[in-house]
Amino acid sequence: MAPRRSGHGYGHSAVCDGAFASIETQVSLAYIILFTLVFFFIFAALFFVRKRSGRTGKALVSTSYISAVVMMLISNILETVSFILISCNTTNYFNYLNMVIASNVFYALATWCLLFVTVYILNALLTRYLHLGRGQQTSPVVKVIPLAVVTVMLPLICAGMRLWTYITITSDAERSGGGDMIVMKMRARRVAGGGLIVWVAVLFFSMLLWNILSLIRAAEILSGITWNWGAEMAQAYLQGAFQALAFVALMGIAKHPSWESMEDAVQQEYSPVGQQQATTTTTTYEGAQLDHFQSPAVYEAPVYVHAK
C-alpha cells in the first residue's frame, strides 16, 4: 500500500485547487491510480483466461482467486477515493480513517484468498502432476498440511490487519508455502512444461519479495526508523508491482497447456485399454487364406511435450 497521508488540515475549503500541486501528492496519486487500473485489467483478463483454460486451470482461477482479485480491486478503489477526499479536504479525518480501515480489511481478505489458492489449491495440483508420471497416489498429508497452514494464517492475517490499521499502514502475512520445493522437484523430475516451471518460479519469487518488503516496512514502523519520502514511495511501487505480478503469475499457470496434458493422461490412466483385435487376410502359395491377428494395443505412459 502507498504511504498514508497524514490527513492534517481538514476543515478548510472544499476546493481541490492546489491539492495535488506538490510532487509528493502527484506521485502518491499516480501510484494508487496505477495499481487500481492494474487490478482492473487483471479482473478483465480473468474472463479470457478462464475461457482459454482447461478444467484443471479453471480450478486455479475459480471462486477463491476471483474473490482475491475483486477484493484487491475494491481495496485500491477505497484507497483512491479516501486519498482524493482527504487531499481535497472534502471529508474529515475520521471518515478518512474509516475508509482506510475498510480498504485494509479487503486487502487482508484478498491476501488470505491468494494464500489459499497458492498454498492449498496450486500445491495440490502440482503434487498430483508430479506423481502422475509414476502412477503414485497423492498422500493425504500433502493436502492436510497446506490446509492447516492456511487455516492458521487466517486469524494471524486478521490480527496483523488490526495491528497495521492501528498505525495506519497495511501489511500482509502470506507465505509462499513450499513453492521452492515444488520448483526443485519439477526441475529434478524433468516433467512437462518448462514454461510452467517459469511461471511457478515467478509466483514464488514475487510473493517472497512482496513479503520481504512488507517485513522491512513493518520493522521500520515498529523500530521508529524514518526514511525519506522518495525511498518510501520506491518501496511502495516495488511492493505493488510484486503483488500484481503474483496475480498475473497465477493466471499464467492456470492457462498453461501442460494442464491439458495432465487431463489427457488422467483420462488414459483410468479408461479401459482398447482390446479390439484387427483382422488381416493374406493368401498363401497354395491359395489358402489365413487370418492373422494383430497384438492388442499396448498402453504407454503419456509423453509430456515441452510447451511454452
CB 178 within 8 A of CB 206: no
| pLDDT, the chain, mean | 69
Q: Which residue has the higher pLDDT, 282 or 84?
A: 84
For 307, phi then psi, to 5°, come to -130, 140
The pLDDT score that the predictor gives to residue 1 is 56
**5 lies in a domain?**
no
**9 lies in a domain?**
no
Expressed as residue numbers, the domain containing 38 is 23-264
Mean pLDDT, residues 144-167 taken together: 66
CB 197 within 8 A of CB 258: no
The pLDDT score that the predictor gives to residue 264 is 53
As given in the structure block, the three cell numbers for residue 293 are 491377428
Among 63-67, 116-120, 254-258, the range with the most confident prediction by mean pLDDT is 63-67
Count of structural domains, the chain = 1
Which of 73-77, 93-97, 160-164, 171-175 has the lowest average pLDDT?
171-175
CATH at 46: 1.20.1070
**302 lies in a domain?**
no
**90 lies in a domain?**
yes
Question: At residue 40, does pLDDT exceed 80?
Answer: yes
In DSSP terms, 279 is beta-bridged to 293
**238 lies in a domain?**
yes
For 289, phi then psi, to 5°, come to -105, 135
- Residues of the chain above pLDDT 90, percent: 11
**279 lies in a domain?**
no
pLDDT in tens, 106-133: 998 998 888 888 888 888 777 776 655 5
**101 lies in a domain?**
yes
Q: What's the predicted TM-score (pTM) here?
A: 0.66
pLDDT in tens, 181-239: 344 344 434 344 456 778 778 888 888 888 788 878 777 777 777 777 788 888 888 98
In DSSP terms, 282 is beta-bridged to 290
Closest CA to 186 of 176, 175, 204, 201: 201
**223 lies in a domain?**
yes
Question: At residue 86, does pLDDT exceed 70?
Answer: yes
CB 180 within 8 A of CB 197: no
By CB atoms closer than 10 A (0-12, 13-18, 19+), residue 160 is buried
Question: At residue 64, does pLDDT exceed 80?
Answer: yes
Q: Taking each helix axis from N to C terminus, what angle separates 229-255 and 63-87, rounded to the nearest 10 degrees?
A: 160
